[in-house]
Structure 1
């Protein structure tokens, strides 16, 4: 077989923020946790895998690679030979140490902090349009990792970048035109940092960042940014159980001029309003909002901004499933959620975990307890690979509900597999 570059593995390194050396270090660390001995992997091994010189690594590398990326060997671009087989997990001795969870957050933080370009932002002197563009470029770089890793891996990095921007804003000079650009870029970063904090379960921090983003949006006269923050504040209110407030805030976002002129934003806002109406039992308004969301989405043209790249047809369908679930229409909710999972790009690992929990919830409500337990197990495995407090809280809620079915073997297995040490 002719040598072929492993573009899938190369893309995973970019997605997860690894250099060749960092990935080899992570493989060795993971192997030591699994086998109590290092795999002796080097950056040369990684380069050879990407170049296609080695199409199926040895088992001592393959298992740690599966653990690091949460992918099958084929999904990482490796090609099995006839004699190749996927190795099973290592057997642990009764006295062996518990395997610590593999943590990517530290590696992502280090690599991103070095590549975001914030070191190039002046701390003194005069700022120009290129500096505002440099700050704007931070957000797409962060969101490229958010979909796969979750906000827990990124909120600290985003807040560190925001602090560096604050220094520039307060100690540099700039003209009126650049000032508006800087505030728009800073607000974009603050709103993104707020989202990451929200996803990480740091609600107090998220609220402060959202308020900063709103202020920056007003100073920049950026209505789109303000509508975006109102939408996120509505989501936060809903998470905290303040459904009526969430609807009021969401309505304010829907009525902005920017929402009325941007179909992508309008579709998202109507989807979120639909879930809010459903949670308050208002079926008529929920269904009306879903219809408006679909109509607005069909009018969308071009590419959405970085913060909206998650809003795909899969997300539209998944949110519709959430609305039907809240309305008690569990069969329809499961149909929509399953369809969303079928459409979801593999890159959106956090959303896949989130909607897999939603699928398990709808199955449980339909009385399909064993199927729900199986789905919940898949969600729990995915949840370990993302840093998202929202996913974990949703999974914890499902776990509590399943305790009443502990006499079902599949549920008992799920509860045991997800039992916390010492619980």
Structure 2
């Protein structure tokens, strides 16, 4: 039979971001764990396995390969010499490996957070072995489910879920092996989790902790060399500054984020940053600047390819959200009629699944109606609002204030 290239094995090396030499080094390391002595694998062996010159490596190489890729030898594209060679001997795993399944089931024990973990299907990333981009893709999928949970009902226990998941990913960074691309992607995932945890704290009324988490998000985004994550972190820090009354600082931070070429070239990110810049400018009474920024946000969003999926953290940025942000700008400028009209438009455009955002803008509408003396309309707005399923102290506190005002 002629030589046949092992394309399955070759594809796995690409997926796991492994060079021939780095795989050989990993085989030697795992061989030492299995047999108690260093292996003698070199890059030449790997090339021969890929080329098909060696179709069934020696057991001293196959056992480590099976453990590295977590699949049997034949699933790696290798072809046994005969029936007897297809069954490999199974040396006992070291004691610490026996304990690993228990370790991998450990996550967090707080009841509310555990409920979220189970409901969203968030499990753990391995703390040992070789990580591939497939592992990172699974991490981002779980982060996406967490973001969807936030948009549906609010932050709630997501702070503890996110920080526990960050701790797990840091264990993976310390205990696993991976290539440069996987390392950067893990730091990017950690940055995203810090941002989610920051918003959860913000939603729960803990601005001090939120600020620390947004700063950590920026640090991880810089480690990942991730322009999108960096722009997100700067945007969150600007939002934090604005909520703490540091409006000029918020404007400066947002402008710094817009100086990032990637932020300017990504229409979704640019639209968000320009819209938040408009709010900051309105708060410092820069009316002309706020108007220019609102227009820039609209023009940036017009460039969005709506057929392409948005990053999960930006999935909230729709025409509805832009209307809501414009309403906040008009409110800061004292244009309550325009703010009310923009808020009504936001509520009309919001999808039903974004219950948290609907509640947020419903409360905002009631506040604007009260500011204009429209008590009956405000009462009707809050009567129609069902906040029973929300887990957002920020929204429920504002709603309570509106209700107290109406009953005073």
With structure 2 as the length reference, what TM-score do the two structures score?
A: 0.68
> Larger radius of gyration, structure 1 or 2?
2
Deviation at 1:140, TM superposition (A): 0.6
2:300 matched residue in structure 1: 296
User: Which of the residues 344, 348, 362 maps onto 2:350?
Assistant: 344
2:163 matched residue in structure 1: 159
* Root mean square deviation, CA, Å: 2.0
Deviation at 1:114, TM superposition (A): 6.7
User: Which of the residues 176, 179, 182 maps onto 1:175?
Assistant: 179
Distance change in 2, residues 1:108/1:124 (3 Å)? closer
1:208 matched residue in structure 2: 212
User: Which of the residues 326, 333, 344 maps onto 2:339?
Assistant: 333
**1:73-109 CA deviation, whole Å, 9 max, x = no partner?**
xxxxxxxxxxxxxxxxxxxxxxxxxxxxxxxx95674
Moved more, 173-182 or 255-264: 173-182
8 A contact 2:169–2:186 mirrored in 1: no
2:188 matched residue in structure 1: 184
8 A contact 1:155–1:200 mirrored in 2: no
Say yes or no: does 1:372 pair with 2:378.
yes
1:152-301 pair list within 5 angstroms: 152-301=156-305
With structure 1 as the length reference, what TM-score do the two structures score?
A: 0.66
Say yes or no: does 1:110 pair with 2:110.
no
Matched residue count: 297
8 A contact 1:109–1:154 mirrored in 2: no
SS of residue in 2 equivalent to 1:118 = coil
Deviation at 1:130, TM superposition (A): 2.1
Moved more, 274-283 or 264-273: 274-283
2:54 matched residue in structure 1: none
8 A contact 2:369–2:377 mirrored in 1: yes
Moved more, 292-301 or 182-191: 182-191
Q: Distance in 1 between matches of 2:299 and 2:311?
A: 19
1:320 matched residue in structure 2: 326
Q: Could you tell me which runs of 5 or more consecutive residues in structure 2 were left unpaired when the two chains were aligned.
A: 1-109
SS of residue in 1 equivalent to 2:156 = helix
Distance change in 2, residues 1:257/1:329 (3 Å)? same
Q: Could you tell me which runs of 5 or more consecutive residues in structure 1 were left unpaired when the two chains were aligned.
A: 1-104, 403-410, 416-423
SS of residue in 2 equivalent to 1:151 = coil
**1:286-305 CA deviation, whole Å, 9 max, x = no partner?**
11111110000010012210
Say yes or no: does 1:131 pair with 2:140.
no
Deviation at 1:112, TM superposition (A): 2.5
Q: Distance in 1 between matches of 2:376 and 2:111?
A: 37
2:316 matched residue in structure 1: 310
